[in-house]
């Protein structure tokens, strides 16, 4: 991780869970981290602690990744302050209990806008800023999911979410191909966690929180810190090594 000391990273969905743990890890390794989320208050509260601990620093920015205007404005702020970007970690994501036979268009659009289009917007602008700054050895990391590699037969609430994560799998491969076609050395990694105990399921089942509690109590889940360590592993590989995919799931998880 020494090569990233003082370098600039962006983490989306940074106010809680995996995003928050990832920001904290990057700061410990001396990176300057732009932490973005819709909840600026939570970001600012965490940032005060992160900036006190160092040795890196955190710039909290409010950004809804489903808004192209907000994404472009955020990258303008990054360019104005730092002039460049070295690492983009697309962590923002969500799910709704919206089966294919009973889900609503609003729920499906929400997942597409965040999990797919938001990721694409941030990736496009990140690579653009890397190239403008002469960064040929940057790194883009997509936080995917085990649901991006299989479709559980007994979990209809997650079928559409799984479709969006299968898209992330394809987008990771596609981005890698486009960068290779340009003779770029920017690396692309996808990290696919299994069940991680965060606010994710509580937001998904906000009307029935007991369902989220039941999900997390069924096995010994991964922690956000476990996934942040996977991010560090991908980043810390030598520049000649592209860690393309990491699958991480709890020992007790059967699917």
Q: Is the pLDDT of residue 8 over 90?
A: yes
Per the model's pLDDT, the better-predicted residue between 209 and 181 turns out to be: 181
Per-residue pLDDT band at 153 (split at 50, 70, 90):
confident
- In order, the DSSP letters of 198-246 are SSHHHHHTTT-HHHHHHHHHSS--B-HHHHHHHHHHHHHS-TT----EE
Spell 209-225 as b/e; 16+ CB within 10 A means b.
Answer: eeebeebbeebebbbbe
- Cα 124 from Cα 118, distance rounded (Å): 10
Q: Say if 255 falls within a structural domain.
A: no
Structural domain of 95? 2-248
Q: Say if 45 falls within a structural domain.
A: yes
Q: Say if 253 falls within a structural domain.
A: no
pLDDT of 90: 98
Per-residue pLDDT band at 125 (split at 50, 70, 90):
very high
Q: Is the pLDDT of residue 206 over 80?
A: no
Per the model's pLDDT, the better-predicted residue between 58 and 218 turns out to be: 58
- Cα 140 from Cα 125, distance rounded (Å): 11
Choose the catalytic residue: 155, 161, 202, 205: 161
Supply the pTM of this predicted model: 0.95
Q: Is the pLDDT of residue 51 over 90?
A: yes
8 Å CB contact between 47 and 35: yes
Q: Give the lowest-confidence range in 14-18, 103-107, 193-197, 205-209.
A: 205-209
Q: Say if 178 falls within a structural domain.
A: yes
Q: Is the pLDDT of residue 81 over 80?
A: yes
Q: Say if 239 falls within a structural domain.
A: yes
% of the chain with per-residue pLDDT over 70: 100
Average pLDDT on 78-103 reads 97
Per-residue pLDDT band at 44 (split at 50, 70, 90):
very high
The enclosing domain of 179 has a CATH number of: 3.40.50.720
Q: What angle do CA 144, 116, 50 make, to 5 degrees?
A: 60
pLDDT of 217: 86
Q: What is the mean pLDDT of the chain?
A: 95
Domain total for the chain? 1
8 Å CB contact between 42 and 249: no
Per-residue pLDDT band at 209 (split at 50, 70, 90):
confident
User: What are 12's strand-pairing partners?
Assistant: 36
DSSP 3-state assignment of 195? coil
Comparing CA positions, the residue from 167, 147, 166 lying closest to residue 158 is 147
Q: Is 161 a catalytic residue?
A: yes
Cα→Cα distances 79→70, 73, 83, 139, 224, Å: 14, 10, 4, 17, 29
DSSP 3-state assignment of 94? coil
**3 state SS for 150-175:** CCCCCCHHHHHHHHHHHHHHHHHHHH
Structure tokens at 94: 């969500």
% of the chain with per-residue pLDDT over 90: 87
């Amino acid at each position: 991780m020494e090569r990233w000391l003082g370098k600039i990273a962006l983490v989306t969905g940074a106010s809680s869970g995996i995003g928050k743990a990832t920001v904290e890890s990057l700061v410990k390794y001396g990176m300057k981290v732009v932490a973005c989320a819709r909840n600026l208050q939570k970001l600012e509260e965490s940032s005060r602690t992160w900036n006190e601990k160092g040795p890196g620093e955190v710039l909290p920015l409010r950004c809804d990744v489903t808004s192209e205007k907000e994404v472009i404005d955020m990258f303008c702020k990054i360019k104005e302050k730092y002039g460049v970007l070295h690492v983009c970690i697309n962590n923002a994501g969500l799910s709704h209990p919206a089966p294919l036979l009973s889900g609503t268009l609003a729920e499906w659009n929400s997942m597409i806008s965040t999990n797919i289009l938001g990721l694409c917007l941030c990736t496009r602008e990140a690579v653009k800023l890397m190239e403008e700054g002469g960064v040929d050895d940057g790194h883009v990391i997509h936080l995917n999911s085990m649901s991006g590699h299989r479709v559980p037969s007994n979990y209809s609430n997650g079928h559409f979410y799984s479709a969006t994560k299968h898209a992330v799998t394809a987008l990771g491969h596609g981005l890698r191909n486009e960068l290779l076609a340009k003779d770029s050395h920017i690396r692309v990694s996808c990290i696919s966690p299994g069940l991680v105990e965060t606010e994710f399921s509580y937001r998904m089942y906000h009307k029935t929180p007991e369902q989220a509690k039941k999900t997390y109590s069924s096995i010994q889940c991964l922690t956000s810190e476990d996934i942040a360590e996977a991010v560090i592993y991908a980043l810390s590989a030598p520049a000649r090594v592209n860690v393309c995919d990491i699958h991480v799931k709890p020992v007790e998880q059967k699917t």
